[in-house]
Amino acid sequence: MRPQDLRAKSFAKYPPQARAFAVANLAVLRQVPLSLLPILLREMIDYDWRFPVEQRVLTRQFQYLASLPQPSFANLMAPFAAVRLPAAIGKMDWVNQPQRFSEQLSGLLWSMQQMDAYRAAALTYQKTLEQVLVEPVPAISRLSIVVIGQGVPHSDRVLFRKLRPHGTIFTKVQPEDGMATLIGVVNDRAREHPAPYAHWYIDGGEPEPGCGLPQGVTLTSYHALAPAALKELNLTSRFVQQSSARSGVGPEAVQSFMAGLGPSDLGLHGDPSQTALRHFEVNVLTEGAGAQVFSTTFVQWTAREALRRAQPLTLFARFAPRQRMAPMEELLKRDPLTQKTDPEGSLIDADMGAYYTWINQQRLSGADRSCFLAWYEGHDIAVAIGPGLAKGTVSDSPANLRKIVAWMS
């Protein structure tokens, strides 16, 4: 099938909202070169369980494409139209399996020495979208809070080394009721600025007991998802063994298999209103390298993806001790929740994870107004970054965490 041959019935297998979206934009889809079209369909086919921000961005992208005069549209698509594709790839079911097509396309571009040209075309296209589809600055400053060091009573490590130049180090934080205080801050923001998937709590262990969350806070934890992670590893291992017994299996096939897994495959069920979250959790487990095995990697990757995809107003990420290192074959088979943990090593992971979380927050709109807090759980040291605080300074004044949050904005 060629793009110009697309009809409304071509999308009969898509979920309801995705099908309606594709049909509404059929005129645009018919004009997109085959080298780009399945990439767009990868986003479109998952429309039903995309976060509101993602749905809005995709809608605005197609509104922009539809608004372009024909010469401008043709000029934007010309680099993709220049990509030479073998006739065989056009016979794939790229409408219903855009992920598989994209994987095949990557290998073909490398083999035909067209990857550099394609990458340049993709960068130009992305830059054009970024210039015309600027995300609005949120009504309130974004706030990310990262808690590290759970289970480490003492450490000689110099913490927050990467974050120090960007904010103020507080050396006399009053740690009493620290977790309850910070979760209270999240709760207050969720109540005052309610919106779907705008406020997140990500925990590397079990969520803090006794700290209730309002309905407007999205909660996910490694403890809750560890059984699903182990199931995903077992399913993938079984697929590799069965495929290898028949004819061998390459990384593309494994990636396609993992991309095809859904919440029901991993035993993730629950409130239908949380469908987007369940699919997001599957993506974290199947796309995040090591997120199935190490709770620290899970927190870092989940925070990264939540910021990138949901663009929340509030993000609370708490690192917990991960399981100890072991040979990879053992790590991929054992239950991570029953193993001995490595608190000191986890502190090192979390310290760097806090820095990465700040970087990812800075990529969002309103970054100059955003606030960021990282705290060594149960201890008297924290770093705070925000327009209300000086950079590269140290404060030895006693302060509780709620005061520090207030000073950042």
pLDDT in tens, 150-164: 999 999 999 999 999
Strands across the sheet containing 371-376:
218-221, 199-203, 314-318, 143-148, 371-376, 382-385, 168-170, 393-395
Can you point out the beta strands (E) in 117-192? 143-148, 168-170, 173-174
Structural Rg of the chain based on CA atoms: 23
CA distance 140 to 29: 36
CA distance 298 to 333: 17
Tens-place pLDDT, residues 96-108: 989 888 878 877 8
CA distance 301 to 294: 11
Tens-place pLDDT, residues 68-121: 999 999 999 999 999 888 777 777 899 998 988 887 887 788 888 888 888 999
> Is the confidence at residue 253, as pLDDT, over 80?
no
pLDDT at position 212: 65
Mean pLDDT lowest among 10-14, 130-134, 364-368: 130-134
- Percent of the chain scoring above 90 in pLDDT: 78
pLDDT at position 214: 67
Name the average pLDDT for the chain. 93
CA distance 375 to 145: 8
pTM, rounded to two decimals: 0.92
The larger pLDDT score, comparing residue 341 to residue 249, is at: 341
Ramachandran sector of residue 31 (left: φ over 0; alpha: ψ -120 to 50; beta: rest)? alpha
> Is the confidence at residue 248, as pLDDT, over 70?
no
Assign 279 a pLDDT band (cuts: 50, 70, 90).
very high
Neighbours of 84 (CB within 10 A): 10
pLDDT at position 354: 98
The ranges assigned to domains in the chain are: 3-132, 143-227+276-408
pLDDT at position 1: 82
Residue type at 69 in one-letter notation: P
Residue range 309-330: mean pLDDT, rounded? 95
pLDDT at position 210: 64
CA distance 320 to 152: 10
